[in-house]
């Protein structure tokens, strides 16, 4: 009956993904079936860690995060956990040989959020790597399924895509991060005097990440290429909306892509991918 337990745990991770992220759920649903569950498991893990530092304000966050870290590696080492999210995650880590360094870097970045409100350049780069780029690398381990040469070939592109996604999230959530948590992630940026120059510099950085990521997306295995490209197109659409907004608007509201537009993106992305119209 272990298979029933494994499946139930995976369904928990799938539910977490659907509840927390419509954009990533949209991409995962168009993966070939064999890829969906492992990516749900990775997302469930990173989502719950992020919840500890961003949501559990009335609880001892440091103690909870430390316990989550201990429980994570205990699950990986023993091959089982009574926490369904960690059980699903350890199965993926052990099956696809996801490096401990990636997991440590991610959890280290979560811990940074407990102690830091402003990020200078070196800490900013460390945070981007740990909070986003390593998640892309965990997913890449699943996508290449043991092909180390392909992993090395696509390594830089996977990091660039994760970096672009995270920086857009920072821009989109700049108000809530400052108002609710007192954070500004971008080095040298003061939320109270966020300027057009600040915004243009950040957007230039994001564009470079997207340009670097696209070549790698086109070389992903067929079974995941459309899903990753769809997530890419969703974020580039969100990026376009942010670029067209004034710094004041970015500071005052969370910019979104309408659900109706997401449906259009699915069909337009499929067409562009089918005919190599990148």
Task: State mean pLDDT over 106-112.
Answer: 96
- Tell me which residue has tokens 């974020």: 235
d(CA 158, CA 194): 29
Looking at the domain that runs over 2-274, which CATH code has it been given? 1.10.600.10
Task: State mean pLDDT over 208-228.
Answer: 95
Say if residues 254 and 172 touch (Cβ distance below 8 Å).
yes
Return the pLDDT at 276. Answer: 59
pLDDT band at 119 (very low <50, low <70, confident <90, very high): confident
pTM value? 0.92
Can you list the alpha helix ranges (DSSP code H) found in the chain? Answer: 2-20, 22-29, 33-54, 61-78, 84-96, 100-115, 121-128, 134-144, 148-172, 174-181, 196-217, 222-244, 247-252, 259-274
On average, the pLDDT of the chain sits at 91
d(CA 40, CA 28): 8
Q: What is the token pair recorded at 89?
A: 């995650």
Other beta carbons within 10 angstroms of residue 115's beta carbon come to 7
């Amino acid at each position: 009956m272990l298979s029933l337990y494994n499946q139930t745990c995976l369904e928990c991770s799938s539910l977490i993904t659907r509840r927390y992220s419509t954009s990533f759920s949209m991409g995962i649903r168009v993966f070939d079936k064999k890829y969906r569950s492992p990516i749900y498991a990775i997302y469930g893990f990173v989502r719950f860690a992020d919840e500890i530092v961003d949501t559990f304000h009335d609880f001892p966050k440091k103690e909870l995060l430390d316990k989550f870290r201990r429980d994570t590696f205990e699950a990986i080492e023993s091959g089982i956990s009574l926490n369904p999210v960690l059980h699903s995650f350890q199965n993926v880590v052990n099956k696809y040989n996801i490096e401990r360094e990636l997991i440590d870097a991610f959890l280290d970045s979560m811990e940074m959020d407990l102690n830091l409100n402003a990020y200078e350049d070196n800490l900013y780069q460390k945070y981007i790597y740990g909070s986003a780029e390593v998640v892309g690398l965990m997913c890449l381990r699943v996508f290449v399924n043991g092909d180390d040469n392909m992993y090395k070939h696509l390594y830089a592109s996977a990091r660039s895509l994760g970096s672009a996604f995270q920086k857009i999230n920072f821009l989109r959530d700049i108000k809530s991060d400052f108002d609710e948590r007192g954070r500004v992630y971008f080095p040298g940026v003061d939320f109270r005097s966020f300027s057009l120059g600040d915004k243009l510099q950040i957007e230039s950085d994001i564009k470079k990440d997207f340009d670097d990521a696209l070549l790698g997306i086109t070389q992903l295995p067929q079974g995941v290429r459309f899903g990753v490209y769809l997530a890419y197109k969703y974020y580039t659409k969100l990026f376009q909306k942010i670029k067209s907004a004034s710094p004041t608007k970015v500071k005052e509201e969370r910019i979104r892509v309408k659900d109706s537009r997401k449906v259009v993106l699915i069909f337009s992305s499929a067409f562009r991918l089918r005919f190599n119209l990148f």
